[in-house]
Chains A and B, each alone.
Chain A
């Protein structure tokens, strides 16, 4: 069964450093998303991406965050200057069409120290 692949599975970074989280969505999917889950809290929406541009973003997705689809297969989330409170599990998801369900990746655990 097709799956969404995320790398790395765990990333430790120093506060203030830039980090890039990588995702390979399902190949024929058109809609891409990032969600995160801080330990003990709900899964939260960050951003959605369609047709090479952001279609929706949450209040969390400030200027420190950016997304890119640099080629036909990867979808990345960049955090420019990480803060302690960015520590969370980050999930990438993709969807084939407007009425299709999301497929989530296994997540990247980001730890900011």
Chain B
């Protein structure tokens, strides 16, 4: 199932700098997108979402950008903090209530 793809398995950034996590999708029926963060031995924790009628949504240090024509979304974390070190999953659904299709995840490491 390659409908949602995160091409970078890992990303390392310095504390205080910007982290940019990328996600691509192929299913044009997706219209709701989410980012989750996951620590070891815990379940995914919801971070931020965006519907297809928007191209940007911001919540504190986290901003999600959606480029529908490119079928691409990204998560920006500014400034990055060591506590942000986790696996980040991109997920998509056809409506805000239907099943989530996840990407592979990107391990973010923020170095002090």
Interface residues of A (CB under 8 A from B): 4, 6, 31, 33, 35, 42-45, 48, 56, 58, 91, 93, 95, 98-99, 101-107
Contacts and interface: CB of A to CB of B under 8 A. Distances in A.
Contacts, number: 52
Contacts of B44: 43, 91, 102, 104
Interface string B24-46: 00000000001010000111111
Interface string B99-112: 11111110000000
23 contacts: A31-B97, A33-B99, A35-B100, A42-B102, A42-B103, A43-B44, A43-B102, A44-B102, A45-B99, A45-B100, A56-B98, A98-B96, A98-B97, A99-B97, A102-B44, A102-B46, A102-B100, A103-B46, A104-B44, A105-B43, A106-B41, A107-B41, A107-B43
Contacts of A42: 1, 102-105
Chain B at the A interface: SS class: loop
Contact of B42 (A31, A56, A102, A106): A106
Contacts of A35: 100
Nearest to B2: A42
A33 B1 CA distance: 20
Contact of B101 (A45, A99, A101): A45
Contacts of A101: 34, 46, 49
